[in-house]
Structure 1
């Protein structure tokens, strides 16, 4: 890897970190960048998972108080995310390549639609929290995050806004933290068994950390409804890109 490739990945990692925190679409930037510097699809996938831990770490350093203020339930959510990330890593390393990608565009499109309809869905649910549904769905999203991850942030935002009474600001923080946990656990598995390109992972993680740190102040200042609708339409775009690539 050349110095120019390294710097390209740092820059891509920064934008992936910002975009990932704000919209949940980090892999739309980071994964193509890794392919562009010559990594194979599998190596790019596992390297991306390792590098995107930086987004969660960067965001957590700038929003740790908000995570702790969620209360004891956040530790249960952390356990579900960790178990899901581990499961996703095992599936990626053991299953035939491409065995899950066929359904991914539909999952992302469904999550984007749920984001658009979130106020109506919450109204139909009577504004009640759905803790059991959230716990199961969190585990499933974490499995996907550990396996591939593109669009996992969109799915998680939709899940949180529908199943809990959290506002999009706190949902974004929880998304970054919990998917960061799933990525971290998967990354540990990939570090032992997967074809991680460590120089590329380091470059992208440096940028992702900085981007993740910048994310919370940006989201805090954005109008909640406008952000929700923007993320939803970006999710439709990602679903289309995943279906056609």
Structure 2
């Protein structure tokens, strides 16, 4: 990367770290930038996921107060999330790269749809907060919750983008508490998935990682994670979603262009 490219990656990581802690889908900021700079899709995905671990950790720490009283739920859900992350990372590393080249555009479309419908999803979540039957449903659907968290982990280990939005939706429906509790739990589960995925990449795909990109994203997303946990909730969500959606379309355009050529 040249100096200008490094600047773009740094600010993309800063933004991604900020919105990951409060919204999710920060990968739809960093991944398109890496693709636009000429990185191969798998290299971009691996480097991006590895670098964003620092930002995930900062966001999880910033939301630690919202996890009070959630230890038993965390102990139950984190193993499923970790196992899903390992599965997704395995698929990314062992399926032919051409599979990712075709799958990534479809996954970007799925992620963009989740971003676009996030307000409706959040209203659905918030409408449950005063539901007296929530606790009973949590017990009744505990197995389904674990399965869905595992599948979200598979998705996250393979592609990362919008995993947080997917998890907030799952946790908001099947876990008692407020949307902030769901968001705090989401930050921990996403951190777990990205750690095991990054560890898999270090062990089995070391030569496919762009370390300059990882370093820039790690430092900037760490800063962004702390910013997001402090003041990110005050940012206009419509502005964030608009930028994420636009950059996601850019990534989609670049990847489709590569497939056509």
TM-score if structure 1 supplies the norm length? 0.82
CA pair 94-235 structure 1, distance change in 2 beyond 3 A: farther
**1:214 positional shift:** 1.7
Report if the CA contact (8 A) 1:145-1:152 is conserved.
Answer: yes
The runs of 5 or more residues in structure 2 that have no matched partner are 254-261
Q: How does 1:54-69 map to 2 (within 5 A)?
A: 54-67=54-67, 69=69
2:225 to 200, 212, 217: 212
In 2 relative to 1, CA 126–63 (structure 1 residues): closer, same or farther, beyond 3 Å? Answer: closer
1:167 is aligned to 2:212:
no
Q: What pairs with 1:60-79 in structure 2 (closer than 5 Å)?
A: 60-67=60-67, 69-79=69-79
Match of 2:24 in 1: 24
Question: How many corresponding residue pairs?
Answer: 240
Q: Is the 8 A contact 2:22 2:233 kept in 1?
A: no
Going from structure 1 to structure 2, the CA distance change for 1:196 and 1:236 (only over 3 Å counts) comes to closer
Structure 1 residues not aligned, in runs of 5+: none
Larger Rg: 2
Cα separation, partners in 2 of 1:106 and 1:198, compared to 1, 3 Å:
closer
Provide the rounded CA distance (Å) in 1 between the counterparts of 2:12 and 2:243: 19
What is the distance in 1 between the residues matched to 2:133 and 2:178?
16
1:3 CA displacement: 3.6
Q: RMSD in angstroms over aligned alpha carbons?
A: 3.3
Note if 1:109 corresponds to 2:113: yes
Cα drift, residue 150 of structure 1: 1.4
Residues 114-149 of structure 1: CA deviation (Å, up to 9, x unaligned): 445345678999433232222111110011001002
**Partner residue of 2:5?**
5
Contact 1:17 1:210 in 2 (8 A): yes
Instruction: Summarize deviations over 1:162-182 as a string: whole Å, max 9, x none.
Output: 111221222222212211110
User: Within 5 A, what are the aligned runs for 1:106-185?
Assistant: 106=110, 109=113, 112=118, 114-118=121-125, 126-127=133-134, 128-129=137-138, 130-185=141-196
- Alignment check: 8 A CA contact 1:23 1:154 kept: yes
Distance in 2 (CA, whole Å) between partners of 1:54 and 1:189 is: 16
Q: 1:117 aligns to what SS in structure 2?
A: helix
Q: Residues 122 and 162 of structure 1 are in contact (CA less than 8 Å); yes or no, is this contact kept in structure 2?
A: no
Provide closer, same or farther for how the CA distance between residues 237 and 125 of structure 1 changes in structure 2, counting only shifts above 3 A: farther
Aligned partners of 2:244, 2:123: CA distance in 1, in Å? 11
